[in-house]
Structure 1
Amino acid sequence: MDLHLSFSTTVTTVFVVLVVAFLLQILRTKKVNIVKNQAAPQAKGAWPIIGHLYLLGGSRPPQHVLSDMADIYGPIFTMKLGVHQIVVVSSGEVAKECLTTNDKVFASRPKSKAVEIMAYNYAMFGLAPYGDYWRQVRKIVMLEILSQRQVEMLGHVRVSEVRASMKDIYEAWLMNNDSEGSGMVKVDMKQWFGSLVLNVLVRIISGARFQHNDEEGVRLQNVVRKFFELLGAFVVSDFIPFTNGFDLGGYEKEMKMAGKEMDNIIEGWLKERKSLGSKTKATNSSWTY
C-alpha cells in the first residue's frame, strides 16, 4: 500500500511539473511574439557583414534613400549598418517620444574613431557618451559657463564683435567705392559669420581677436572646419570593427594631424595666458613693501 501511494505521488508530481513547464513555454512564446509584433520593422535587403551600408554609399543623398525607405516601412524602422542596428524615425510624433518620454534611452552618443582621436578619447563634453562623467561635466558647464550670470557677463564681447564685424563690411565697402566707384561690394557671408563666431569664442577663451585675413585666424578656421568635416566622415572601422587596423580611406591619419594642430593652437593660448598671469603677478609683487 505504501509503495503504491509513493508511486502515485511521484507520478502526480512529475505530471504537475510537466504541465507547469508546458504552460510557461506557452507564455514565453506569446511574450516573444508580442515583443516581435511591437518591435519596429527591419528593412529588407541587408548584406552579410556590411548590412545596409551599400544603400547609403551610392550617388543618391542618404536622406533621399531613407525617405524612400520610410515610404515602404513606415515612420519608424530599423537598419543594420555593419555591426550596429539603428532606428530611423521620420515622424514628428515618434521623434517627440524618443526625445522626451524615452530621452535617456537615446541620450548616449555612438563611439567613433574621430571622437577617440580628436576629442581626447571621449573627454570632450559635447561628444562624450551619456554617463556619470557626462552628467558631472554638464553640471560644471551649466553652473560655471552657461549660467545666466556668466552669459550676461560676457554680453559685451558679443556686442563688441558684432559691431567690429559690421565695421569690417563698411570698410570693405568704402575701399571698393573709392577704388572702383561702385556702391556695391561682394561679401562672403560664410567667411563673415565664421570670423564672427570664431572671434567671439576666441575672445572669451583667450582674450585675443583676429583681424581680417589674419594668418593665425585663417589657420584656426581651417582647422575647426577640418575638425567638423572629419567628425562627419564615414569611417569603415566605426561600423566594421575588424578593419580597425587598416585605416581604410586614410581618415585616421588626417584626424591625428587635425587633432595635433588643434592642440598646438590651444597650447599656445594656454602658454600665453600663463605668461600673462606670471607678468601680472610679478608686477603686483613689485609694489609690495
Structure 2
Amino acid sequence: VRESEVKTSLQQLYQLWNKKKSSNSDKVLVEMKRWFRDVTLNVILMIVVGKRIPNSYEGVETMEWKKSVDEFFELSGKIVVADALPFLRWFDIGGEEKRMKKVSKELDQLVEGWLREHKEKIAENEANSEEDFMGVMLSKLRDDVEEHDANTVNKATSLVLVLAAEDTTSITMTWALALLLNNRDALNKVQQELDIHVGKDKLLVTESDTRNLMYLQSIIKETLRLYPPAPLSATHEAIEDCTVDGYDVSAGTWLIFNLHKIHRDPHIWTDPSEFRPERFMTTHKDFDVRGQNFELIPFGSGRRMCPGISFALQVLQLTLANVLHWFEFETPSGEAVDMHEAPGLTSPKATPLEVYISPRLPAFVYDSTT
C-alpha cells in the first residue's frame, strides 16, 4: 500500500508539472506542504478504510473534513480558561468549547459514513470485508465491547489512527524539505546518495532501497531532533514517589516532557540549533529515535511511546527518498525558506512551502512508468 500510494501521488505531481510547464521554463510552482499531507493521508486511509481522497492539485475543492482535522489539531493545543476556572465554563470565553463540539460532530459523521459503507460491503460480499483495518475490526467486534458498543470502538480506533498518522508524518516531511532547501549542500548530498544506490535509470525507490540510504536516515533524525512533530510529549503519570534532580515528584503527578528543549540541549548537541545530519553518522551514529536514547525521543519512550513509530519512519523514508529522486527543487527568487512554527498540539510550519519543481531524471525513465 505504501509504495503504491507514493507512486500514484508522484505520478500526479509529475502530470501536474507536465501540464503547467511552459515553453520558457520547465519549472512549476507547487505547494509541497499540501502535497505531503495528501500523500500521507492517502497511505493511512488506504490502510484503515480502503479509500483515498482526490488529489488537491486535480482542481477538487478541499474536502470539508480536512478543515475539521485542521481545527481538531488547532483546538487540541488551545489553552481554555475554563479548564483552570471551571465556573467560567458557562460563558465559553472565546467560543472554543462550541467549536470543539462542532468539530467532534463533524468527525463522528465522517467516520460513521465509513463504517456504514463497510457494513454495506459486508452485506454484499462477505469475502472482501476484511481488506482494511476497519473491515477487520468489524469482523472481530461482533458483540459489544465492555462498556462501549462495537461501533463506537471501531470508529474511535480508526479515527485515532488516521489523525495520529496524517498530521505528524506530513509535518516532519515538510520540515525536512524546508531544511534541505535552506541547506543546499545536504540536498545535493542526499541526491548523490540516491544516484549511487538507486540510479538515474530507475524511477521508483523501494522500501528495500531505503535501507542503504544512510544519509537520508540521518536527515530524518536531524529533522525530528530540530522539529519534533509535537513540541511536548504525551502526558505521563508518576507511579511512585521519586526525586528528580533535587525535585520531589509525588506518585500520581502528571508529567509532560519538553522535547524541543531536550533535543536542543547544548550539553549534548554541538551547535544544537544548526541542521547537521552528519552528526548521526559520526558523534551520534549510535543514536536512534525509538526511545533508547533519552536525548532524542520524538516518539516518546517506554511502553507508552508512539505505537505508530515504525509506520511513520517507513512513510518518511519512502516518500522523501522518492520525491528527492524524482525532482529538483528551488525556492522562488532563491530566498531562504521561512522556518516559523504555528502554535498548537503539533508543530506545523506556519507558512506554505512553495517551491519550483522540475524533473531530475531522464525523460524516458518517467515515460516508462507514468
TM > 0.5 fold call: no
Bigger Rg, structure 1 or 2? 1
State the TM-score, normalized to the length of structure 1: 0.41
RCO greater where, 1 or 2, for CA within 8 Å and sep 6 or more? 2
**Would you tell me which structure has more helix in proportion to its own residues?**
1
State the TM-score, normalized to the length of structure 2: 0.32
